[in-house]
Amino acid sequence: MNINITNQEEKDKKWSILNQKDNLFDILHTKESKLIEIQRKDIPQDAIKCFEWYSRRFLLPEEYKKWNFEKYRYIQHDGYTTYIATQDKNTGNFTEKEIYIYEKDMTWAKIWHGEIRLWITENPYFKDKPFVWFTRTEHKFIHKWYGKKRMITMNTICKQIRWLPLDSWTLFSHKDAKKIRETLKSQWVARKYAEKAENNADRFQFIEKKNRNFTELASTYNASGNIYHNRSHISNCLDELEANKDLAEDYKAIKDAVLFHDIIYLPWKRNNEEESALFAENYLKNRGESEEYCHKVRDLVLITKHNETPVTKDQELIIDIDLAILWQDEQTYQNYTNHVKQEYQKAMPELTDEQFYFWRKNFLEKFLQKDKIYFTKRFSDKYESQARQNLQKEFESLQKKLEK
């Protein structure tokens, strides 16, 4: 996909268009964008100097060997050329497999460089998790779109060289980098780990294409125009599932059910879950799943209607995940209630505040009358009390508004 663009304004315009596409993750996987092995003499000198700088890091002077690289490669995409050097390095504590990256534009100006490290260890925290240790974009090339593009480029290179998706931890402690991670997560390109990094920063991992069936669904969630029941809610549910996946009996089925459970949601309808379950069943059949599996996912979607008692552990878990918003802190819970109200009034402009308050009060009353909100022991022990406090407080607030 080599496009000769030398004007920066045209580049910005091009990436503005590309960022709107659901397949942005796959742009660098086109047949024109493959890594090509080259010799050191084919690498620009500024790139070589950068690779040597990375190579010296964490080594004693006597340990450093010049030009001690395994292979050199390059990749061309969208008018850019990215040079890559790989190296095995022993830093004393770990044997590492390094990838060093240096990118230039069509005018041969340096744009950015970065380092991907893979520690050869049995520690599950790092095992098979190549991570970004350092990356920097030259100041004049810092644009809103470039951080995301840079990470996608690094992930593509990591996948083609290490056969593993990119993982990151230290990088995303920086506030600007957090924005990149959130963008990638909201576009269903990356997921957040349940555990945090040593510096308490969030960790994320790019999602392998074979596990990204929800990318195909993203446009459907976007098109709904919903303010709460949208792909942000689905993304939060996926994070909750990841944090509690040890409770799942069939992780794949419950993940598919999470993805589909609000695929159809119109506030005035009373059969959203039934239509979402049917959508899921048909989609999974077309994907080649067995009838038994399709029925299992269908039943998991249906249970999120919250009017039946769960009969399996996975049904218990998906209910608890779907209702995880209820135990959040006061501000998060308030944002949730505001979004639900906005969602209803956007879908039904004729709906008055009083009518919404009456409906919402009845909804809350039904939940408060339940013997239990959460069904898994973990959620019940940790979150039941807080969820009831939030619901009761909102219920009393609505009651006062209706009495005025």
**pLDDT of 283:** 78
Distance spanning both ends of the chain, measured CA to CA: 64
Q: Where are the domains of the chain?
A: 8-210
Q: What is the pLDDT of residues 306-346, one digit of tens each?
A: 999 999 999 999 999 999 999 999 999 999 999 999 999 98
Q: How far apart are CA 179 and CA 147, in angstroms?
A: 9
Element (H, E) at 77: strand 71-77
Counting Cα atoms < 13 Å in the Cβ hemisphere of 127 gives 4
pLDDT score, position 101: 92
CA distance 387 to 394: 11
Buried b / exposed e along 203-242 (16+ C-beta atoms within 10 A) = bbbbbeeeebbbbebbeebeebebbbbbbebbbbbbbbbe
Local confidence band at 168 (pLDDT 50, 70, 90 cut-offs): low
Find residue 113's DSSP bridge partners.
102, 136
Q: How far apart are CA 81 and CA 75, in angstroms?
A: 6
Mean pLDDT of 129-147: 72
Two structure tokens written together for 56 = 């010296």
Do residues 2 and 79 touch, judged by C-beta distance below 8 A?
yes
337 Cβ neighbours under 8 A, 6+ residues apart: 360, 394
Contact between residue 209 and residue 165 where contact means Cβ atoms under 8 Å apart: no
- The pLDDT value given to residue 212: 47
Tens digits of residue pLDDT in 213-244: 555 566 566 556 788 898 889 889 999 999 99
Compute, in degrees rounded to 10, the torsion defined by CA atoms 324, 328, 334, 337: 10
The DSSP letter of residue 67 is T
Is the model more confident about 343 or about 19? 343
Q: State the Cα–Cα distance between residues 258 and 243, nearest whole angstrom.
A: 14
User: Could you tell me whether strands 80-90 and 71-77 are parallel, antiparallel, or unpaired per DSSP bridges?
Assistant: antiparallel
Do residues 135 and 115 lie in contact, with contact meaning Cβ atoms separated by under 8 Å? yes
- pLDDT category, 171, cuts 50, 70, 90? very low
Helix ranges (DSSP H) in 262-306 = 272-286, 291-303
Between CA 357 and CA 361 the distance in angstroms is: 6
Q: How far apart are CA 1 and CA 58, in angstroms?
A: 37
| Segments in 2-101 forming alpha helices (H) | 8-18, 45-56
User: Lowest-pLDDT range, 5-19, 55-69, 162-176, 326-340?
Assistant: 5-19
pLDDT of the residue at 12: 42
What pLDDT does residue 2 have? 29
Pairing mode, if any, of strands 131-137 and 167-168? parallel
Are 78 and 26 in contact, with CB atoms under 8 Å apart? no
Beta-carbon neighbour count of residue 183 at 10 Å? 17
The dihedrals phi and psi of 373, each to the nearest 5 degrees, come to: -90, -45
Least confident of 107-111, 305-309, 335-339, 365-369: 107-111
Q: Do residues 36 and 44 touch, judged by C-beta distance below 8 A?
A: no
Report yes or no on whether pTM surpasses 0.75.
Answer: no
Q: Identify the weakest region by mean pLDDT among 62-66, 98-102, 275-279.
A: 62-66
In contact, 192 and 159? CB cutoff 8 Å: no
Whole-angstrom distance, CA of residue 317 vs CA of residue 321: 6
Q: Which residue has the higher pLDDT, 359 or 223?
A: 359
Q: Identify which has the larger pLDDT, 155 or 262.
A: 262
Please report, for residues 78, 315, 333, 359, 367, the alpha-carbon distance to residue 340 in angstroms, rounded to integers and kept in the order given.
41, 24, 11, 12, 16
